């Protein structure tokens, strides 16, 4: 039976840098509080898409980074994961297929999911390979949350950055390849109000003050959800796969913010040197946060290492996957 491997991960960030200190100063926070807030969330600055850049644009650039060293004709399926799609019709993956010059006899699909989206997309890619529907899959994640956050909502603005990633998933392991192993999923739609945009559609978006037009984020609600559901899910995963926490070499949490990850690390009793992170100058990039971390760290990881990927966020939704070097 075929196996599924992550063989390359790339990412792209917009050029514009937005300083969290400047955002908070503009919102009239005093310097002492600003320093404490930035230290708590672990995010100094973020990249922000220009007025002319949308999720598709960032995703296309990320995709080209993979295809620079891979024959586009080999791609048999395109998965595009976003929670800020440029269009509700047509499927954005179809547009990206054309812009990347991929073959026309391939599958292309959007997955609308936030911070757990990468894990769920990996599960779809693996299923396609194991069911012999595709051998080479291009997975792109991309979000531009900045277009959905009110300029007056400094507390939310300082968390989210824009960005995109691309992942090459195939049935054969290449240099620095990682086998995609097992999964655990979770969904609790009763908590959807903790992260919601009531009025949707980013192509003709104008940043408004209306609570229905912008991202409404209940930070304490997300924190409580994460601290309850993530440890439960990790323990379910370990039991289901007959492994212990100590056998996991590295952990990649969704990069929500440092405060949440620190508390998850403490609750699960994980050694800090096992945490792989990359949010200081990037922020929370939703479905792109885990693959951005992977892009930075995977080339350095030695053979026979286990990495646990843990996504959680809006939905409410969570997902866990193990990958092995």
Give CA–CA dist 44/305, Å, rounded.
31
Residue 83 catalytic? Answer: no
DSSP state of 245: G
- Say if residues 142 and 178 touch (Cβ distance below 8 Å): no
Closest CA to 84 of 129, 63, 115, 124: 115
How many C-beta neighbours within 10 Å does residue 154 have?
18
Residue 198 catalytic? Answer: no
Give CA–CA dist 37/43, Å, rounded.
9
Among residues 7, 83, 92, 284, which one is catalytic?
284
- Say if residues 166 and 140 touch (Cβ distance below 8 Å): yes
Residue 284 catalytic? Answer: yes
Among residues 7, 81, 83, 115, which one is catalytic?
115
Closest CA to 321 of 121, 166, 63: 121
Burial class (CB in 10 A: 0-12, 13-18, 19+), 56: buried
Query: Residues 261, 262, 263, 267: what is their CA dihedral angle, to the nearest 10 degrees?
Result: 100
What is the chain's alpha carbon radius of gyration, rounded to the nearest angstrom?
19
CA torsion through residues 114, 116, 121, 124, sign:
negative
Burial class (CB in 10 A: 0-12, 13-18, 19+), 253: buried
Among residues 12, 92, 171, 254, which one is catalytic?
254
- Say if residues 70 and 168 touch (Cβ distance below 8 Å): yes
* Residues with catalytic roles: 115, 254, 284
């Amino acid at each position: 039976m075929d196996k599924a491997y992550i063989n390359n991960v790339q990412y792209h960030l917009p050029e514009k840098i937005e300083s969290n200190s400047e955002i908070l100063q503009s919102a009239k926070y005093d310097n002492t509080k600003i320093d404490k807030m930035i230290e708590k969330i672990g995010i100094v600055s973020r990249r922000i898409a220009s007025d002319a850049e949308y999720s598709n644009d960032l995703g296309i650039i990320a995709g080209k980074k993979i295809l620079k060293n891979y024959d586009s004709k080999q791609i048999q399926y395109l998965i595009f994961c976003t929670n800020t799609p440029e269009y509700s019709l047509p499927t954005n993956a179809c547009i990206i297929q054309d812009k990347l010059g991929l073959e026309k006899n391939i599958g292309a699909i959007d997955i609308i999911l936030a911070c757990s989206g990468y894990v769920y997309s990996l599960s779809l890619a693996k299923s396609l390979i194991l069911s012999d529907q595709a051998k080479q899959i291009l997975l792109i994640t991309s979000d531009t949350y900045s277009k959905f956050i009110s300029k007056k909502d400094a507390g939310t603005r300082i968390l989210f950055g824009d960005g995109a990633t691309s992942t090459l998933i195939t049935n054969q392991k290449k240099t620095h390849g990682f086998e995609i192993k097992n999964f655990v999923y979770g969904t609790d739609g009763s908590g959807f109000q903790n992260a919601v945009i009531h009025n949707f559609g980013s192509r003709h978006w104008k940043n408004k003050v209306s609570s229905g037009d912008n991202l409404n984020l209940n930070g304490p609600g997300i924190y409580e959800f994460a601290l309850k559901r993530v440890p439960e899910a990790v323990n379910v995963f370990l039991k289901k796969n007959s492994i212990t926490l100590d056998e996991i070499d590295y952990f990649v949490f969704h990069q929500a913010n440092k405060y949440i990850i620190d508390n998850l690390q403490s609750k699960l009793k994980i050694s800090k040197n096992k945490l792989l992170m990359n949010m200081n100058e990037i922020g929370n990039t939703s479905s792109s946060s885990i693959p951005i971390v992977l892009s930075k760290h995977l080339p350095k990881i030695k053979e026979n290492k286990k990495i646990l990927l843990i996504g959680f966020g809006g939905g409410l939704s969570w997902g866990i996957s193990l990958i092995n070097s």
